[in-house]
Amino acid sequence: MSCSDHTLLHSQSENGHDIAVDIERSELYCCSCSDQVYDLDFDKVVVAKNIVDMPSKTRDSVVDDLMRRSSKRRRLNSVVDLDLIRSKFFVWMRGRRAKSCYPLGLRGLNNLGSTCFMNSILQALLHAPPFRNYFLSERHDRETCRKRSSDQSCLACDIGVIFSAVYSGDRTPYSPAQFLYSWWQHSANLASYEQQDAHEFFISVLDAIHEREGKERNPNKDNGDCQCIAHRVFSGMLRSDLTCTTCGFTSTTYDPCVDISLNMDTSSFSSVDVANKSVRPNEDTGRSTLLACLDLFTRPERLGSDQKLYCQNCQEKRDTLKQMSIKRLPLVLSLHIKRFEHSSLRRTSRKIDWHLQFPFSLDMTPYLSPSIVRNRFGNRIFGFESDEADISAEFEIFAVVTHSGMLDSGHYVTYLRLQNQWYKCDDAWITEVDERIVRASQCYMIFYVQRMLYYKANEDLSCAPMPSRRDPFVPIAGCC
Catalytic residue among 116, 157, 244, 293: 116
pLDDT, tens digit (0-9, with 9 covering 90-100), for 235-274: 999 999 999 988 888 899 999 999 999 998 655 444 334 3
Same domain, 36 and 143: no
Same domain, 175 and 303: no
Same domain, 374 and 248: yes
DSSP string, 227-292: -SHHHHHH-EEEEEEEEETTT--EEEEEEEES-EEE----TTS-S---TTEEE---TTTSEEEHHH
The answer, yes or no, to whether residue 64 has pLDDT greater than 90, is no
Alpha-carbon span 336 to 237, nearest angstrom:
16
pLDDT at 152: 63
pLDDT at 226: 86
411 is catalytic: yes
- Does a structural domain hold residue 60? no
DSSP string, 384-398: --GGGGSS-SEEEEE
Q: Is 167 helix (H, G, I), strand (E, B) or coil?
A: coil
At residue 335, φ and ψ (nearest 5 deg) are -115, 125
Alpha-carbon span 241 to 382, nearest angstrom:
15
pLDDT, tens digit (0-9, with 9 covering 90-100), for 367-417: 999 999 888 877 655 555 544 555 789 999 999 999 988 776 789 999 999
For residues 424-429, give the mean pLDDT.
95
The answer, yes or no, to whether residue 341 has pLDDT greater than 80, is no
Classify residue 127 as exposed, middle or buried by CB count within 10 Å of its CB (0-12, 13-18, 19+).
buried
157 is catalytic: no
Catalytic residue among 31, 186, 411, 443: 411
pLDDT, tens digit (0-9, with 9 covering 90-100), for 79-127: 334 444 444 443 333 334 444 578 889 999 999 888 999 999 999 999 9
For the chain, give the mean pLDDT.
Answer: 76
pLDDT at 186: 84
Number of structural domains, the chain? 3
- Does a structural domain hold residue 78? no
pLDDT at 429: 93
Closest CA to 456 of 383, 393, 398: 398
CATH classification at residue 408 = 3.90.70.10
Same domain, 300 and 421: yes
pLDDT, tens digit (0-9, with 9 covering 90-100), for 270-329: 433 433 444 444 334 467 899 999 999 999 998 877 778 888 888 888 889 999 999 999
Same domain, 402 and 255: yes
- Does a structural domain hold residue 57? no
Strands 340-343, 348-352: pairing is: antiparallel
Same domain, 316 and 256: yes
pLDDT at 390: 59
Residue ranges making up the domain that contains 134 = 115-209
Classify the phi-psi angles of 248: left when phi > 0, otherwise alpha if psi is within -120 to 50, otherwise beta: left
Same domain, 327 and 364: yes
Same domain, 205 and 233: no
The residue among 215 and 239 whose pLDDT is bigger is: 239
pLDDT at 277: 42
DSSP string, 182-220: HHHHH-GGG-SSS---HHHHHHHHHHHHIIIIIHHH-TT
Same domain, 164 and 258: no
**Which of the four pLDDT bands, split at 50, 70 and 90, describes residue 6?**
low
Same domain, 179 and 247: no
For residues 27-39, give the mean pLDDT.
66
For residues 42-47, give the mean pLDDT.
65
- Does a structural domain hold residue 202? yes
Rounded to 5°, the CA angle 19-22-25 comes to 140
Same domain, 125 and 182: yes
Fill in the DSSP letter of residue 315: T
